Amino acid sequence: MRRMACLIPALMLAACSQPAPPAEPAADAPPPMEASAAATPAAEATAAAPAAAAAADVPAEDARARIESVLGDAAQYEKVFNAFKIAVVGGDRAAVVEEVRFPLNIAGGKKITGPGEFQRSYEKIITPAVVKAVSEQDFSKVFVNQQGVMIGDGQIWLIGECLDKACARVEVKVGTIQ
């Protein structure tokens, strides 16, 4: 009984103490990885922490240098960015589909499995907010991390996928539209 009398105040104090709040993620912290991302060069780049650290030293205005240091060939990303922007702003559905990789990640954790499904859901995927984000984005100011190139505030992600085991050939496409 005496032990109980000694333990009760200690337990009450412990119950009232507040744990330290969790640390805030860094402003440039990548979004959570998906299981399917493991086969992409972006996932391989995750292991290349020195490359990511080097990217932090590059001025924010120079997306090409950041892409080169983190993901590889910036020209491929810029080509897809420009083609996708022209297609979205111009409302060219067929050209938009050409720049998309399927399955496509969309809002709510859903996936679009192919071009037909994409075309049927086009207005739900390419919303006015997506069009605005794409039309206002300048390539020199895109956000870059080991997962890809972000357009807007995360509405669109351009990702690279290795075409061979050595990842010597990479295909860049739009992998997420939210």
Mean pLDDT of 46-66: 54
pLDDT tens, residue by residue, 93-136: 999 999 999 999 999 999 999 999 999 999 999 999 999 999 99
Per residue in 130-159, is it b (16+ CB within 10 Å) or e — as a string?
beebbeebebeebbbbbbbbbbbeebbbbb
DSSP state of 110: -
pTM: 0.66
More confident residue, 80 or 52: 80
pLDDT of residue 167: 84
Q: Are 42 and 148 spatial neighbours (Cβ–Cβ below 8 Å)?
A: yes
Give the E-state strand segments of 56-151 in sequence order. Answer: 100-106, 111-112, 143-145, 148-151
Long-range contacts of 127-135, Cβ-Cβ distance < 8 Å, separation of 24 or more? 129/155, 130/88, 130/155, 130/156, 130/177, 130/178, 131/88, 131/89, 134/84, 134/85, 134/88, 134/89, 135/85, 135/88, 135/89
More confident residue, 70 or 15: 70
Query: Which residues are CB-contacts of 117 (< 8 A; sequence separation ≥ 6)?
Result: none
